[in-house]
């Protein structure tokens, strides 16, 4: 997929972008009631997506151009215990597209937004552990 380029460097690029998304979501969440919840949820979804893609790169698994978390998780080896339910995966996917445009979804509550960021942090932590085992983090 990456023609034996420096896989570690590619993984680091994906995780750096994912960390930026989580940083953006975390800081914006501090606005409390003034928080643009759709934007925060989008960045939480992007963090999760990019961490999964980083791990797929590390495993040399090809993946399609998609924002669908469920599709990406399905590409992981079966022995990988991913920390999200199918429902959580689907909800994150909604944040990637429908939540970003008017008329496509219900407003997102602050509580739901906080949960999305919490999920992104959990995915980051779990994938970092997996990458550490491969000596890629």
**118: CATH:** 1.20.120.330
pTM of the model as a whole:
0.92
Query: How many structural domains does the chain have?
Result: 1
Checking if the pLDDT of 137 tops 70, the result is no
Q: What integer is the mean pLDDT of 51-58? A: 96
Checking if the pLDDT of 99 tops 80, the result is no
Domain that holds residue 111: 7-133
> In terms of pLDDT, which residue wins out, 47 or 98?
47
Domain assignment of residue 63, yes or no:
yes
Kindly give, in sequence order, each residue whose CB lies less than 8 Å from that of residue 41, ignoring residues fewer than 6 positions away.
Answer: 25, 95, 99, 108, 112, 113, 116
Domain assignment of residue 119, yes or no:
yes
Other CB atoms within a 10 A radius of the CB of residue 89 amount to 20
Domain assignment of residue 1, yes or no:
no
Domain assignment of residue 2, yes or no:
no
Tell me the residue length of the chain: 137
What per-residue confidence (pLDDT) applies to 3?
A: 54
DSSP class of residue 97 equals T
């Amino acid at each position: 997929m990456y023609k034996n380029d420096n896989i570690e460097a590619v993984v680091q690029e994906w995780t750096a972008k994912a960390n930026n998304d989580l940083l953006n979501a975390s800081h914006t969440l501090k606005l409390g009631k003034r928080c643009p919840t759709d934007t925060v949820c989008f960045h939480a979804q992007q963090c999760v997506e990019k961490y999964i893609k980083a791990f797929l790169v590390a495993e040399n698994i090809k993946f399609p151009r998609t924002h669908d978390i469920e599709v990406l998780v399905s590409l992981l080896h079966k022995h990988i215990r991913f920390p999200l339910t199918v429902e959580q995966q689907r909800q994150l996917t909604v944040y990637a597209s429908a939540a970003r445009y008017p008329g496509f979804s219900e407003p997102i509550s602050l509580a739901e937004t906080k949960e999305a960021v919490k999920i992104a942090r959990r995915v980051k932590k779990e994938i970092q552990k997996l990458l550490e085992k491969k000596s890629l983090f």
